[in-house]
């Protein structure tokens, strides 16, 4: 009997250790968010949705701005990180509050201050309240068992055998997308994205004054630890038309946020100068150009 108990105990211990070893293997190929929750608190942050996550490259910002502490891309997706209590709370956990000389690139667009629910100001029903940023209590630990438990849904085999081989999340938070860039593929991808936004996303979204208030709270909080540079990322002309239908007076809606920030850069005036993977996200080479442009703009201000 003792031998059976001993063998069972050894089996459990070996199984647990093997499982932990697998969790330690989680990296930039495991999913699009994980590594952002495994690093120490950061001084210089990029804030926003997938437009910023896929485009803004910390290495380029670091090379030009030469900050003592490197930049970190803490942008996620429209579902995960529109402005609101969930994102602000996560930013507060990620920020190194021992420093007061940070630079914060906060990206904005009409979607980030809108909601897809009947009452756009009902924070209890905000979609992100049930997603990764809300359920990840510690954003600075590796391995992040809490994140893996809540967000992998038991699919831990994806750690060893990644499903999406077209993406790679760098340790500085930049999400690199390696997609086909031939004209036919881009056109097909763009058509699909524009149809989705025009017929499925746009009809649901409404301006949220509460999200604007959280944009202001986010800027005010970050201002305590450095300077905020507000940026509207470029998009394709097709997406711009849809955004204008949602909110033609966008700059007016965020005028207080512009006032609270160090500077505001609207890159939609240069939409036609860049290449997009789907009309919504910049191709990584264009992302590098935009990263360089933003870095020089910050340096000159």
- Render pLDDT for 148-162 as a digit per residue (tens, 0 to 9): 989 876 665 576 666
Residue 232 lies in a domain: yes
Residue 11 lies in a domain: no
Which whole number is the average pLDDT over 277-286? Answer: 97
Q: What is the percentage of the chain residues whose pLDDT exceeds 90?
A: 82
- For residue 103, what are the contacts with CB-CB under 8 A and spacing of at least 6? 44, 65, 67, 71, 226, 227, 229, 298
Residue 82 lies in a domain: yes
Residue 14 lies in a domain: no
- CATH code assigned at 159: 3.40.50
pLDDT in tens, 58-114: 999 999 999 999 999 999 999 999 999 999 999 999 999 999 999 999 999 999 999
pLDDT above 50: residue 12: no
- Give the pLDDT confidence score for residue 152 in this predicted structure: 79
pLDDT above 90: residue 24: no
Pairing of strands 175-177, 263-266: unpaired
Residue 293 lies in a domain: yes
Higher pLDDT, 206 or 29: 206
Q: Total domain count for the chain? A: 1
Residue 4 lies in a domain: no
Average pLDDT for the chain: 91
Residue 2 lies in a domain: no
| CA distances (Å), origin 15, targets 8, 22, 141, 143 | 10, 11, 23, 17
* Token pair of 123 as six digits: 């924070």
For residues 218 and 87, the answer to whether their CB atoms sit within 8 Å is: yes
- Give the pLDDT confidence score for residue 18 in this predicted structure: 43
- Give the pLDDT confidence score for residue 193 in this predicted structure: 97
Q: Which domain holds residue 271?
A: 27-299
Q: How far apart are CA 179 and CA 165, in angstroms?
A: 10
Residue 252 lies in a domain: yes
Q: Helix, strand or coil for residue 281?
A: coil
| CA distances (Å), origin 160, targets 31, 32, 163 | 11, 15, 10
| Bond prior to 213 in cis (omega within 30° of 0) | no
């Amino acid at each position: 009997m003792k031998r059976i108990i001993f063998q069972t105990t050894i089996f459990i211990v070996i199984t647990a250790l093997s499982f932990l070893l697998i969790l330690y293997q989680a990296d930039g190929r495991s999913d699009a968010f994980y590594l952002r929750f495994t690093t120490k608190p950061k001084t210089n942050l990029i804030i926003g949705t997938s437009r910023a996550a896929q485009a803004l490259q910390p290495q380029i910002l670091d090379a030009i701005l030469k900050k003592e502490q490197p930049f970190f891309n803490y942008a996620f997706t429209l579902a995960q990180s529109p402005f609101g209590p969930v994102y602000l709370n996560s930013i507060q956990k990620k920020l190194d509050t021992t420093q007061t000389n940070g630079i914060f690139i906060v990206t904005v667009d009409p979607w980030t201050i809108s909601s897809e629910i009947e009452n756009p100001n009902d924070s209890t029903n905000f979609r992100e309240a049930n997603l990764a940023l809300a359920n990840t209590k510690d954003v600075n630990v590796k391995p992040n068992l809490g994140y893996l438990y809540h967000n992998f849904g038991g699919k831990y085999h994806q750690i060893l055998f990644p499903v999406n081989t077209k993406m790679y999340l760098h340790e500085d938070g930049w999400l690199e997308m390696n997609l086909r860039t031939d004209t036919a593929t881009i056109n097909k991808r763009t058509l699909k994205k524009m149809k989705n936004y025009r017929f499925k996303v746009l009809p649901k979204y409404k301006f949220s004054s509460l999200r604007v208030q959280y944009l202001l709270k986010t800027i005010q909080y970050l201002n305590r630890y450095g300077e905020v540079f507000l940026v509207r990322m470029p998009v394709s002309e097709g997406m711009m038309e849809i955004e204008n239908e949602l909110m033609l007076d966008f700059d007016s809606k965020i005028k207080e946020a512009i006032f609270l920030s160090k500077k505001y850069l609207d890159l939609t005036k240069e939409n036609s100068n860049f290449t997009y993977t789907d009309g919504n996200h910049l191709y990584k080479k264009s992302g590098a150009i935009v990263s360089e442009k933003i870095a020089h703009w910050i340096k000159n201000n």
